[in-house]
Chain A
């Protein structure tokens, strides 16, 4: 209450009259200059950051968009019963199909007026080694088509694809045992005739990985499913556990050394390198609990461990940001502690919690290192898992692990797919962030 200045108020000297306001004095000028300089630094920092971002996006897009198109060769294949039955009887079934396709391809060439002295086997090199399998799959799925002539869009080999995309040049082929310049001449003419064409590559988005020799067949779809099941595990486990833990710590736990310790450890956990979680998962879930290796369930568990601190920290922050007046109001009308938390505090903290959770999930989605240790980098050429249990327990990969896998391989055709995979991953992350922003906007309230 004592206000000494008021009592000595009379002693304060009256300020001397200042100079004109129309003249800026040197001190003010200096200050203004410093401020202008600081603004410039800040702006240039932002611009540098933006430039990096633009460079990054440009690189990704320029390298990756080509993965979304693929070269196809359109060939009408006569599916004669006798030949197919013969093929099905042989040991290596696809090689017979290959012969059928080879003949059909030669017919296409001659009908297009393209003269070549290449053998059928040489011509076959222009096609993906998976072409025969896809014809066979079609025949097995549609037995009624036997005896008719069906027009297939068969995958061209990755070299042909690379040539059309400008990745492969004639000079590159001097040392290539599969393809030579003569092939490219044919490709040029086929392309002009509309028989060889680049189309949108659905198989890249929905398909499975393929072996080293068939990059043109590789897709990210199956690992996307792996990622999906992992995220499901992460969401189902980390959201309730994280939120429950935060509510307890924030609202109910007594403040003592023990809870302080827990708090510090949670903050520390958030900073632990993800590979550490990987080795923890390997030891705990696979070696100790004997869960299947490479399974999305295990991946999800590991990522849950990693995401929990993030969710707990963001949840506690949003619980803390709920004004105490709301808690008081609830207690004041006779609500119990739990009622006040669940009826009032939690709903108000929800947007923050959801944002934190989605950001945690996005982090987990992009995480590679821990997956390496629990074997989720296996080569998974099989197709979509058949059923939910299989989805959790069958070996699978995850998007970032798949990208890592492709980037490792020698064939530059895989390199392109790695970039393409990154585009898809970024699209997912962006979607999740946008959802987070929308949730925040929708639920945000002002007090």
Chain B
């Protein structure tokens, strides 16, 4: 794409995209660290994750601020407008990803005593790997305006959902086996839910990447595979 006649406009757009990428990197790291701290029950690491969230929030605020300025001063249209709008939405999603990672870290601190983390957290770890992969893929797609891999991420959200359903059943089984484990399993269940939500945000980001580069808002034909609510009869 050729440069704008007004070069500072290009600089501003690049600066917004750069901040979004930075947010993406940070939230990726936060997710990874939060999962590591959960598996190793590393409360220090968890605290560091919580501290990092402040930076993500600040970045999101900056992205929003810049995007508003661009809209006010440059009145972007077409590609530029979609870039700015996508940056705002994606930063929003990434901020939520950061929040969810922070929430996992908080639970690590909250969980009392020890547990057989290997046994319980195996499923969660597996699920988080998938979510991390998705997040990484979608952030690469954003950086490269790669609609194909974004579409791919969107399709693969089902896998995360499916994993979540199976973890839900597994943890339910543990809780029935040993009521003393209910507290810890509940925490883990929330962590799994958070990861599943992160997967959803990755999907949202993927949709915004597609919108950004094609101008088409993807129709929501994705069917949710979250059958837990149906299964248990409890509202999610």
Contacts and interface: CB of A to CB of B under 8 A. Distances in A.
In their complex, do chains A and B touch, with some C-beta pair under 8 Å?
yes
Interface of A: 1-3, 6-7, 9-10
A2 B7 contact: no
B137 to A, nearest CB: 35
A1 B5 CA distance: 8
A138 B7 CA distance: 100
Interface of B: 3, 5-7
Contacts of A10: 7
B5 A9 contact: no
Nearest to A2: B5
10 contacts: A1-B5, A2-B5, A3-B5, A6-B5, A6-B6, A6-B7, A7-B3, A7-B7, A9-B7, A10-B7
A10 to B, nearest CB: 8
A233 B5 CA distance: 66
A9 to B, nearest CB: 6
B74 to A, nearest CB: 14
A3 B2 CA distance: 13
Nearest to A9: B7
Contacts of B6: 6
Nearest to B3: A7
Given A6-B5, A6-B7, 8 more contacts: A1-B5, A2-B5, A3-B5, A6-B6, A7-B3, A7-B7, A9-B7, A10-B7
A6 B2 CA distance: 14
Contacts of A3: 5
A207 B146 CA distance: 106
B231 to A, nearest CB: 61
Nearest to B6: A6
Contacts of A7: 3, 7
B14 to A, nearest CB: 14
Contacts of A9: 7
A180 B25 CA distance: 129
A4 to B, nearest CB: 10
A9 B8 CA distance: 10
Contacts of B3: 7
B18 to A, nearest CB: 19
A181 B21 CA distance: 123
A8 to B, nearest CB: 9
Counting chain B CB atoms within 10 Å of each CB, the highest count among A2, A7, A9 belongs to A7
